[in-house]
Amino acid sequence: MAHQNANEPLADLTRPGQSNSTGDARALYLKLFSGEMFKGFQHNAIARDLVMKRTLTNGKSLQFIYTGRTTAEYHTPGNSILGNSDGAPPVAEKTITVDDLLISSAFVYNLDETLAHYDLRSEISRKIGYALAEKYDRLIFRAITRGARAAHPITKANFVEPGGTQIRVGTNNQASDAYVPASLVNAFYDAAAALDEKGVSSEGRVGVLNPRQYYELIQQVGDNGLINRDQQGTARQTGNGIVEIAGIKIYKSMNIPFFSQYGTKYGSASATNPGVTDPGNSGSFVSAAVEDAATDVTGINNEYGEETEFANSCGLIFQREGAGCVEAIGPSVQITSGDVSVIYQGDVILGRLAMGADFVNPAACVELIAGAAVGSSGNAAF
């Protein structure tokens, strides 16, 4: 065994933060933090994989091209074939612009980190990932809601493509219909029929409800054979597409527009409130109002709708072509080091992304509403 002089540095000191025992002593700690942030983001963000996502490498916006339908005709012998006389198919475009840089950050003081009896950075990293994922999903779901009320960009005479769809849950003028399982099931079948009639592919169809709606629904559909019998037990509670109605996989999320709030709404029953009692101690982030983009939010370069325009929204059904998401900077982590860390005796941990979202094919977007008739005040086109 080798002997070490007490006055000499330990040559075989184990540095768990180094990669292969060389280089930066904190290199692996940084990667651990990055991994925790990504796990937090991926765990909470569901919309990213349910719509069309493209990466923007240059420029500030990305173009999506629409090609309308064309017709078939019989050939007259002897006539030249130079394309249909009606000039079809018609073409239009949709441009999605990247919003400003979205960030979530925290300053970690070295002494606090030393005294903490838990992994402070990992905990902070997860919360940063949650914050970015929440915003990511909310913008995409708002874009899909707008698509459900929009006409298609192809408007050539006799070649107009189908637009979005609104479906009423229940028949009463009360928002509480949003929680009636039988009414939700009927709405899903109506949505599937509407998507079929508008020529939307059956592949990639999903629905997103708030948690209370989801749990009300699985209590009924579980007894009616609408859940894969191989996916029982705790899988029913996850809300990750186990429940399927009319070929539509159903997810739950607290980030859908829900009666002008996000995910849930408490208060007395009315045409714009489902009448759920606040359980108490619900904190500052539950039942947050949809932002008024025109007045409350800077950095937004796309139209996501205003709070009052979601007054009766209570769920979404869509196919992946319904919306597009453009990423200039994917979810990533930055952290201060070197002289900055020495001066401030700590590090700023930053999670960031740059994205934008908008509806692409309105025909693939369906909005569920309750407490008002389709097309009534509060649910007009954006």
Convert the pLDDT of each residue in 284-311 to its tens digit: 888 889 988 666 678 899 999 999 999 9
Q: Which residues pair with 369 in a beta bridge?
A: 168, 313
> CA 122, 123, 126, 127 torsion: positive or negative?
negative
What is 27-66+90-369's CATH number? 3.90.1690
165 pLDDT band (50/70/90 cuts)?
very high
Convert the pLDDT of each residue in 103-136 to its tens digit: 998 888 888 777 766 677 788 888 888 999 999 9
Q: What is the pLDDT of residue 35?
A: 67
How far does the chain reach from its first CA to its final CA, in angstroms?
77
Q: Which ranges in the chain belong to alpha helices (H)?
A: 27-44, 110-115, 120-148, 181-197, 211-221, 339-344
Separation of alpha carbons 167 and 370, rounded Å: 9
Cis check for the bond before 9: say yes or no (omega within 30 of 0). no
**Mean pLDDT across 257-271:** 94
**Mean pLDDT across 68-85:** 80
Burial of 160 (C-beta count, 10 Å sphere; 0-12/13-18/19+): middle
Share of the chain above pLDDT 70, in %: 81
Separation of alpha carbons 261 and 380, rounded Å: 18
The answer for residues whose C-beta is within 8 angstroms of residue 258's C-beta and 6 or more apart is: 210, 264, 265, 310, 313, 314, 315
- Mean residue pLDDT of the chain comes to 83
Q: Which two tokens stand for residue 37?
A: 């942030």
Side-chain half-sphere CA neighbours of 146 within 13 A: 20
Q: What is the pLDDT of residue 11?
A: 47
Q: Which residues pair with 205 in a beta bridge?
A: 319
Separation of alpha carbons 251 and 95, rounded Å: 28
**Mean pLDDT across 27-35:** 57
Convert the pLDDT of each residue in 338-351 to its tens digit: 888 888 888 888 89
Contact between residue 173 and residue 371 where contact means Cβ atoms under 8 Å apart: yes
